[in-house]
Amino acid sequence: MSLLELQIARRYLEVCQAKGWPIHRKNALQQPPRSLWREEYIGAVGRNLKKTWQDLYIKRSNPWCQKLMPTPEKHIATETNFYLSQALSGIGCFGNFRHLIKKLDSPLCPCGTRAVESPMHLFTECTRFGQGRPVEKDISKPSSCLYLEKVVKELWILENGPQSVHH
């Protein structure tokens, strides 16, 4: 179930309520009482969509992702791209993930602390990426987004070589 599918489900409920049509299709969203006034009904359907979206997000995202984005509506200060998306999702060129998909023998970070090279370690404590690190990682601020992107880009270059980055 994606946000687009939830939005289609919302539209379906709204149109059926407005036109008085029966609702035949099983709907992903909980349906408010159809006797509500139009505006109340639309508001209630919208709240149900947000609740369903939030529940799906918590079920499918990892703790790192949820630390940066407690809700899927959290504002992101800069436009996302190939590198920033990896930092936000916690899935990509990180030792723990590359180990999981069998691209690396060991998930440990080369910084020598015996820490697993996870997004949490890299972005919050690893000495290799201390430069320019904001104290609080708040993705509604450009400084945090730029830092996250920069670290992923460096990791990507370490893995794939400088020719793999297009400027």
How far apart are CB 119 and Zn ion at their closest, in Å? Answer: 11
Question: Which residue, 104 or 111, is less far from Zn ion as judged by CB?
Answer: 111
Site for Zn ion in 89-118 (CB under 5 A): 109, 111
Q: Which is nearer to Zn ion, 9 or 109 (CB)?
A: 109
Find the binder of Zn ion among 88, 126, 139, 155 (CB under 5 A): 126
Beta carbon of residue 42, minimum distance to Zn ion (angstroms, whole number): 50
- The CA distance from 7 to 46, in Å, is 9
Q: SS3 breakdown of the chain: % helix, strand, coil, rounded to 5? A: 55, 0, 45
Separation of alpha carbons 129 and 83, rounded Å = 15
In whole angstroms, what is the distance from residue 90 CA to residue 61 CA? Answer: 9
**Residue placing its CB nearer to Zn ion in the complex, 28 or 111:** 111
Stretch that binds Zn ion, among 34-42, 55-63, 125-133, 147-155 (CB under 5 A): 125-133
Residue 32's alpha-carbon distances to 38, 49, 128, 130, in angstroms, are 11, 11, 53, 50
DSSP per residue, 79-93: ---HHHHHHHHT-SS
CB of 28 or CB of 108, closer to Zn ion: 108
What is the C-alpha radius of gyration for the chain, rounded to an integer number of angstroms? Answer: 21
The distance of closest approach from Cβ of residue 92 to Zn ion in the complex, given in angstroms and rounded to an integer, is 16
Smallest distance from Zn ion to CB 2, Å? 35
Interface ranges with Zn ion (CB under 5 A): 109, 111, 126
